[in-house]
Amino acid sequence: MVSQLEQLKAFTTIVADTGDVEAIAKIKPEDATTNPSLILKAATMPEYKALVDDAIRFGKGDLSVVMDKLAVNFGIEITKIVPGYVSTEVDARLSFDTEATIAKGRSIISLYENAGIPKSRILIKIAATWEGIAAAEVLEKEGITCNLTLIFSKAQAIACADAGCTLISPFVGRIMDWYKKDQGVEGYAPAEDPGVISVTEIYNYYKKFGYKTIVMGASFRNVQEILELAGCDRLTMAPPLLAQLAASTEPVTQKLNAKGVGEMYMEYIEMSEGKFRWMMNQDPMATDKLAEGIKNFAADIVKLETIIKPKIAAYTPPKPVPMANGRMSFDRVCREWRCKFTGDKSDSVSLENISKLINTYLVQIKGVSVDTTVDRLICGDCNDFKLRISVPLEFFGPWEAKKFAPEKEILTQLRQIKGVGQVETQTITNVVL
């Protein structure tokens, strides 16, 4: 029998909502999302100590840089598992500062790109305040895709779509939480769940008026909420809920479908800042939950900073290793793979095959450490090709113990390319950065 999870995948893209890299590897979702709360939890787990240590070393005492690098380090690891988007969140304390949010989004993308992860793989996650939406509009125009989070109202959803945001995350369970407390009830039937109703209305509005922004339901309290939104563009959920769906073989019925939405009557809303603020003012649930969400994410950032600060204070950079003559030292080590192309220089196929081979292994190479740099060096006159991989000193020993994998595979395949000869390696230890 087919599990509910597999049935759901026929209607909806499944996204893992966790910072636990190992859990994501078991689930094998299309995308993954993180937030400060999830990073806080994962960063205290022993198996991710190397990611924390690397961020501290990279930050060189700057707490803000360390925090950004830590979030990106987790994201880098997740990109090795999921084929689609990975969301990384901007500091919630910037939620009402458009320019600071823009700067932070650019900085996060720069850290990813320096690690060889293209910006097309990353969603910058921003709280859906008016200021945050304005920041996302600027970033989207620069080709930086955004996930607008803490969505609790149609006003937020419409403003995000008008701004050209790639994706929004309406919070199903938190909406239900507010109404349960407000109305003094224990719960709702799935189809009557206020969070489910909110996401359904947003989905239908987007499809009715042709918006391309992706709707990704989030913050689920139970599998019934998830199943009631089968057919939504994306649904992100925690590993325990994914496990429940995987364990059940009950039939799943598609509930949301863009077909037929065109026949529904809906009023088009012309959004403006004034309209946005008025609609939020008239929606106590959305106002309360947005403020609460920002406060809670900010509080978890502070908790994580409290953990990180003493680690920064205690960190002692590794002493550069002196060379034999005592005149030079190094704190990074390079492994260089090189070859000479002695064939016909007009043979573009062989030259392209060299480049393709390198690209095939690039992600694996950069996975040697979270701070690996790769340089391609080509001498146009003599057709020498060099691939120089630089890693921090403390990571070189473990890589050497693995025989510089995937060195053997790359060199073997290089030798098989027509016109390639003199395939050699060397270790360069006088790199000072």
Type of residue at 362: L
| Beta pairing partners, 379 | 384
Contact residues for 157 (Cβ-Cβ < 8 A; gap 6+) = 151, 168, 170, 202, 205, 206, 215
Distance of alpha carbon 116 from alpha carbon 118, whole angstroms: 6
Q: How far apart are CA 322 and CA 391, in angstroms?
A: 17
> How buried is residue 105: exposed, middle or buried, by Cβ count under 10 Å (0-12/13-18/19+)?
buried
Q: Write down the H helix ranges in 10-97.
A: 21-27, 36-43, 49-59, 63-79
H/E segment holding residue 228:
helix 223-228
Question: For every residue of 340-391, which 3-state class applies, written as one string?
Answer: EECCCCCCHHHHHHHHHHHHHHHHHHHCCCCCCEEEEEEECCCCEEEEEEEE
Q: Could you tell me if 43 and 66 are in contact, meaning their C-beta atoms sit under 8 angstroms apart?
A: no
Q: Which residues pair with 326 in a beta bridge?
A: none
Q: Which of 69, 104, 119, 125 is catalytic?
A: 125
| Alpha helix ranges (H) inside 60-146 | 63-79, 98-114, 130-141
- Mark whether 125 is an active-site residue: yes
Query: 246 with 4: CB under 8 angstroms?
Result: yes
Token code pair at residue 319: 């002493």
Catalytic machinery residues: 125
